[in-house]
Structure 1
């Protein structure tokens, strides 16, 4: 990486909507015959947050970015040249949320991309995109927004909420501020798009209709015992592989990692990843029991929580890692954290 201009993950911030929702919201009337009720994939967290009926992706992004504005000033954040956005679920799938987020925040970015792929590891992917743009163009500032609202929308439907899968997701937003120069350099990013697993995670409805068709049944994720077993096997392997590859590229070992920040799918993945990488729990911050699986928002949200709670210190090697969907993407990024810029 010699000669590559320095790009910094200068700051992160997050926002959680509403009051914490307890597991009783889901388990009071479980669906009979749910074959995945006892799966380790769906062991419920203690809490999660849900968007209100009138809250949108843009609302959550605005509230998270407001914290960056408080620290860096409105003029600096609004001068961002690059805006990268990933939303689950998009409020308007046809156009994405990026342009409306720009309008709400008063941004006029030259680069605006709504990222539809990379799911729970999309923060890593967008960090790579931001780094590429900032090192090859005149752009100097990028804003990354990960918004998750599926928990309070898709998974609270009257029938779907009775399924074991519905107690896992939580809503929230995590944002990153990336700058040319800056205090906390992004040392490297490695990503893998794995076409062999594309399409293995699907939305399904009992009546067989597609998501845009009028229906009487409710949409849910089409998990089966077989698909869950496949996702567990892939996820257990993909994240350690991505982190191992990143460390090799940096001539480091995984034991050099001071803080590992991953997506937060469930307790099984979190335990397996840190054990595979030889890291103790205190070096792998965990927001699962407080926030559930916040999908793409989980990595920046967990990093922000770790910074605020004093688990990340100046000079720490912070590695971000995760995988997406049923395993169609995996990635890892290394940052030498020096504190909020």
Structure 2
């Protein structure tokens, strides 16, 4: 349901990353690898890593505060906070901690989990609340601290991930700047990328036993995830463009989840989008999961690359497996 005359506009962005970085040469002291091996296969040169005293809520609040400032609002103006994350500080939810840290006392706050697709799924979710007339000013945050759940002895995965947060403010607007979207999921391929709970049996009585344990480090079938991404991401982008009634020729920027430079290049090539229109910052941050799209967006905005009125197509893809795309214009 969409209220007549109610659309959405993205009006502010912000990001935050931990202070500490770990480059490929330093990582080669932890696990058998090299800068050449990592960079040639992924495009990643460095990543930011949160310390034991840094929290997801803290990074998310920093990014959110900057997005609110860019939008010209204050925290009290925010009606809804949607936090996309797979690595919460609290499994019961971290969005309320962000709400408290920001002082956004009027805001409803909740988490969503769609892994590396989280920001795109969150964007579509936030848009529906605004289009229905429920809320006017939404803060959408994508944030993850994946270093908590990496096996630092597994060079296939530990070289990929970094920590960070990115945010956007989405506001009700007479002209709808979300032009089209498409979301997909396929649980039959869930086994290819996991951060899984692995219980051990614990007897409570002679007749009753429960599963007790914790989550185990990230596991990934890199070849299958790559095949999935280069096949499904161009398809879902084309569907979103069709819904928006535009073509790739009308796109100013391609903003993909920053997973692997090879994936970015392959998707752009299949869509015939030139390299100069592809936003990429994964060399400095690695794969930051739900944070990667808003982190790259904020950086490109603050560098003056993205201008008001520019048309972007964005796509997230990852664990679930989930994938989705959205077409939007920046600003009102």
TM-score, normalized by length of structure 2? Answer: 0.86
What is the Cα-based RMSD across aligned positions, in Å?
3.0
Query: Structure 1 pair 154/243, CA: closer, same or farther in 2 (3 Å)?
Result: same
Counterpart position of 1:113? 110
Q: Is the 8 A contact 1:121 1:299 kept in 2?
A: no
> Is 2:19 aligned against 1:27?
no
Query: Structure 1 pair 8/250, CA: closer, same or farther in 2 (3 Å)?
Result: same
Shift of 1:300: 0.5
Query: Structure 1 pair 47/119, CA: closer, same or farther in 2 (3 Å)?
Result: same
How many Å separate the matches in 2 of 1:166 and 1:191?
28
Shift of 1:5: 2.1
Counterpart position of 1:100? 97
Counterpart position of 2:135? 139
Shift of 1:319: 1.1
Counterpart position of 1:51? 50
Q: Is the 8 A contact 2:94 2:110 kept in 1?
A: no
Which of the two has greater strand per residue?
2
- For 2:85, which of 70, 87, 96 is the aligned residue? 87
Counterpart position of 1:10? 11
- Provide structure 1 residue ranges, at least 5 long, that are not aligned to the other structure: none
Counterpart position of 1:332? 325
Shift of 1:229: 2.1
Q: Which runs of 4+ in 1 moved over 4 A?
A: 1-4, 37-42, 207-212
Other structure's SS at 2:213 match? coil
> Is 2:274 aligned against 1:280?
yes
Q: Is the 8 A contact 1:145 1:174 kept in 2?
A: yes
Query: Structure 1 pair 319/109, CA: closer, same or farther in 2 (3 Å)?
Result: farther
Q: Is the 8 A contact 1:41 1:268 kept in 2?
A: no
Other structure's SS at 1:242 match? helix
Q: What CA deviation, in whole Å up to 9, does each residue of 1:188-213 have, x standing for no partner?
A: 222112232234422469x9869962
Shift of 1:285: 0.8
Counterpart position of 1:309? 303
Counterpart position of 1:235? 229
Counterpart position of 1:195? 187
Counterpart position of 1:154? 149
Instruction: Tell me how many residue pairs correspond in the alignment.
Output: 320
Other structure's SS at 1:213 match? strand
Q: What CA deviation, in whole Å up to 9, does each residue of 1:45-65 have, x standing for no partner?
A: 111101111000111012112
Other structure's SS at 2:85 match? strand
How many Å separate the matches in 2 of 1:307 and 1:236?
27
Counterpart position of 2:213? 213
Counterpart position of 2:156? 164
Other structure's SS at 1:220 match? coil
